[in-house]
């Protein structure tokens, strides 16, 4: 099973885009995760879709503490000079994200109940 549960902080404000084909919201944000029991920080991109993406884009800001369950994904591509590249990132599904700190916004709702 490809499941990862993480707790970390946003290193920047999330960026939301709308896909050109189906018009779905997708949000990406780089996050910092401290390795338990070690003085080491891991940085990885987090991706979310649809209602979860809209929620994170609306209420997520640099420094926010969160918890998420996600699956590990891999992109692979060839650059214009023929070089092979790859990048791992995490994809959050519905029901699998929450902020652990309080927002300065008094109208922040709970994370969305479902996508699609």
Query: E strands within 15-83?
Result: 15-18, 25-34, 41-49, 65-78
Give tens-digit pLDDT for 64-111. Answer: 999 999 999 999 999 999 999 999 999 997 768 888 987 655 566 666
Annotated domain spans of the chain: 4-99
pTM beyond 0.75: yes
Give dist(CA 46, CA 66) in Å, integer.
11
Query: In the CATH hierarchy, which top-level class contains the domain 4-99?
Result: mainly beta
Q: What does the chain come to in residues? A: 116
Q: How confident is the model at residue 43 (pLDDT cuts 50, 70, 90)?
A: very high
């Amino acid at each position: 099973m490809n499941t990862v549960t993480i707790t970390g902080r946003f290193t920047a404000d999330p960026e939301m885009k709308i896909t050109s084909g189906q018009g779905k919201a997708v949000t990406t944000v780089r996050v910092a995760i401290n390795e338990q029991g070690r003085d080491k920080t891991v940085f990885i991109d987090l991706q979310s879709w649809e209602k979860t993406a809209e929620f994170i884009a609306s209420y997520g800001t640099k420094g926010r503490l969160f918890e998420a369950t996600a699956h590990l994904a891999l992109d692979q591509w060839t650059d214009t000079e023929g070089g092979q590249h790859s990048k791992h990132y995490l994809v959050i599904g519905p029901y699998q994200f929450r902020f652990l700190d309080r927002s300065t916004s008094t109208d922040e709702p709970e994370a969305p109940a479902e996508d699609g």
